[in-house]
Chains A and B, each alone.
Chain A
Amino acid sequence: AQSVAQPEDQVNVAEGNPLTVKCTYSVSGNPYLFWYVQYPNRGLQFLLKYITGDNLVKGSYGFEAEFNKSQTSFHLKKPSALVSDSALYFCAVREMDSSYKLIFGSGTRLLVRP
């Protein structure tokens, strides 16, 4: 079965510094990977996805993610964090069977301090 792991419950970073939110995956075959963000009292918002192609994927709000097959990782990154980036971030992988359901990690709370 497919799975993803987010090893950090919380990441703290100062505004203006680069940020990384980690995600590792376990799949059979080629993975379809996603990042979502959840702001307080809001639904899930799509940030970016990796299906195939370039290992560096660019997404919304200045975020990007690097797909690393040898390390089975898909870390979310941003060169310069904003206080407004503070939110809950989820990594997800698409199930390979016909359900196409998303399997989510446990989430990482990002706190950007001024």
Chain B
Amino acid sequence: DADVTQTPRNRITKTGKRIMLECSQTKGHDRMYWYRQDPGLGLRLIYYSFDVKDINKGEISDGYSVSRQAQAKFSLSLESAIPNQTALYFCATSDYTGTGAYYGYTFGSGTRLTVV
């Protein structure tokens, strides 16, 4: 099983619909992130979370919301999807040691979302 699992892998939805993308991890990491990938723009951060009680906006959070249901689960919702939210979405986790000796990030396989 993958360390970071995203569901669904692909989704086509209609404008105005609510949709949820789910992410679960078995890494035991505290920090989780949602990124969006658009051609020529790289990956941009939507939201991130330190733990279930700590949610933070990224650079492009408008139109999105998140829920950290447990340490291992971090969901991204589009309350009313619009076509310019068509993109590839990645969930990631990060690991940090107190000594700062290692920084590891693990990415899921991505969810390709199309809003028509």
- Interface, chain A (partner B; CB < 8 A): 6, 9, 32, 34, 36, 42-46, 49, 51, 90, 94, 98-107
Contacts and interface: CB of A to CB of B under 8 A. Distances in A.
Contact of B43 (A45, A46, A90, A98): A90
Contact of B40 (A43, A45, A101, A106): A106
Interface of B: 31, 33, 35, 40-45, 48, 50, 56, 58, 90, 92, 94, 96, 100-105, 107-110
A43 B107 CA distance: 7
Main secondary structure of the interface of B (DSSP, over half): strand
Contacts of B42: 6, 90, 104-107
A43 B110 contact: yes
Contacts of B50: 98
Given A101-B58, A104-B42, A94 B103 contact: yes
Given A44-B90, A44-B107, A94-B103, A99 B40 contact: no
